[in-house]
């Protein structure tokens, strides 16, 4: 859909980094006036809800420099250039948790911040987990600690704001709804 | 929590815009090595789930330049400097929908993209809506079209990817769970 389309009059690249890039577009609005749009390009990401055979969910705690604190999230990672999201999902699950999944169910996808960024996040549920016998090397600048929690334990961390990000809170609602439907 | 804290060695401001700013930090990792972090500062935002007396949900369709398409979302907007989220929520509801709410329930908050941005989104449910007799002027560079939909109609738009952002999909799961619990 292109309703209320904002046509680009001018585009100014500002920054091109290792993860994101920033440009500022001058746009023509539907009423003929102009405005500026500050826009972040992001490669896209995956997030995985790993469910153990005991029915627990595997989370990772990691430091988020943007927030200057560590939070507890479901495993996630950025897409490599040209990589299919399913491939990223398997890789990130193995790197971050040490488990692989016999079954990966796609739950959907969403834009995380459509007001300024094009990051699209693909969400999966990973079941029938098997512990890998060898560890898989991940990014050498990522430090994570694993936590296996019940849904109730995870919901308690939401109240403490230790779980506090969109994808993880979406995942918990999804699991709560699944329980309610069973 | 400061687990795996990444201490800032150097911070380089790159861009300071009307909505977001970008800086690149050089950080010291827990293992003593260094890395770069590309970080977006954002003022924070609110989103509102407006429920009409007929039980329909009010959505807005708007063009998202970052995606180069229009999508259907719950009403939302950025915090003004120093503004309490509840005040932003009432203002954005009035500006975008022409309704005001007798009751505003806070549902929680979440970081939309903690990997690179500090945007914190506060989510509210607005009930007992009253149509305003005068229109409230909003941002003059925002063009939105209102849609009143049932939950089922909105869920159909998720399948068509016309609803495709984190806050709106979270809102639909929340409403679906609420229905399931009643």
Q: Which residue has the tokens 């560590």?
A: A70
User: Do A54 and B98 meet the contact criterion of CB atoms below 8 Å apart?
Assistant: no
pTM metric for this prediction: 0.97
- The closest CB to that of A40, out of B33, B66, B170, belongs to B66
**Structural domains of chain B, ranges and CATH numbers in brackets:** 7-41 (no CATH), 45-181 (3.90.79.10)
ipTM entry = 0.96
Residues of A in contact with B60 (CB under 8 A): none
CA distance B95 to B88: 10
Burial annotation A51-87 (CB, 10 A radius, 16+ → b, else e): bbeeebbbbbbbbbbbbebbbbbbbbbbbeeeeebee
pLDDT in tens, B84-142: 999 999 999 999 999 999 999 999 999 999 999 999 999 999 999 999 988 777 778 88
**B82 CB neighbour count, 10 Å cutoff:** 7
For A99-135, how does the pLDDT look when each residue is reduced to its tens digit (9 = 90+)? 999 999 999 999 999 999 999 999 999 999 999 988 7
Verify whether the Cβ–Cβ distance B115 to A66 is below 8 Å: yes
Contact A3 B173 (CB under 8 A): no
Residues 19-38 in A contacting B (C-alpha not used; CB under 8 Å): 19-20, 22, 24-25, 27, 29-31, 33, 35-38
A122 neighbourhood in chain B, CB within 8 Å: none
Output the pLDDT for position B140.
80
For residue B149, the model assigns a pLDDT of: 98
Residues in chain A, pLDDT under 50: none
A15–B15 C-beta distance less than 8 A: yes
Adjacent-strand bridge partners of A101: A129
Chain A, nearest residue to B75 by Cα: A115
Decide: B91 and B100 in contact? Cβ < 8 Å.
no
Q: Give pLDDT, residue B6.
A: 97
Judging contacts by C-beta atoms under 8 Å, the chain B residues touching residue A173 are 170, 173-174, 177
- DSSP letter string over A96-156? HHSEEEEEEEEEEEEES-TTTB--EEEEEEEEEEEE-SSPPP--TT--EEEEEE-HHHHHH
pLDDT over 80 at B182, yes or no: no
Q: Residue B2: is its pLDDT beyond 90?
A: no
Query: What is residue A1's predicted lDDT score, i.e. its pLDDT?
Result: 78
Mean pLDDT of chain B: 95
pLDDT of residue A91: 95
Mean pLDDT of all residues in chain A? 95
Residues 119-138 of A with CB under 8 A from B: 119, 121
Nearest-CB residue to B112 (from A3, A63, A112)? A112
The pLDDT of residue A181 = 80
Q: Does A141 touch chain B (CB under 8 A)?
A: yes
> Using one digit for the tens of pLDDT, what is the confidence trace for B50-78?
999 999 999 999 999 999 999 999 999 99
Provide the pLDDT for residue B25. 98
The residues in A 42-81 lying below 8 A from B, measured between CB atoms, are: 42, 45, 61-67, 69-71, 73, 76, 78
Q: Smallest Cβ distance to B112: which of A78, A113, A162?
A: A113
């Amino acid at each position: 859909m292109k309703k209320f389309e904002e046509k680009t009059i001018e585009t100014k690249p500002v920054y091109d980094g290792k993860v994101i890039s920033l440009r500022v577009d001058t746009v023509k609005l539907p009423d003929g006036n102009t405005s500026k749009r500050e826009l972040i390009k992001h490669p896209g990401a995956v997030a995985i809800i790993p469910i153990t055979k005991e029915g627990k969910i595997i989370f990772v705690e990691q430091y988020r420099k943007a927030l200057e604190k560590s939070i507890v999230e479901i495993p996630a990672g950025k897409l490599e250039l040209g990589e299919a999201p399913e491939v990223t999902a398997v890789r990130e699950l193995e790197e971050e948790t040490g488990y692989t999944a016999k079954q990966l169910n796609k739950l959907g996808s969403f834009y995380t911040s459509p007001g300024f960024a094009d990051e699209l996040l693909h969400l999966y549920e990973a079941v029938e987990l098997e512990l890998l016998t060898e560890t898989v090397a991940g990014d050498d600048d990522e430090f994570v600690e694993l936590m296996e929690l019940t849904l109730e334990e995870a919901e308690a961390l939401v109240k403490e704001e230790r779980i506090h990000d969109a994808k993880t809170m979406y995942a918990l609602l999804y699991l709560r709804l699944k329980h309610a439907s069973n």
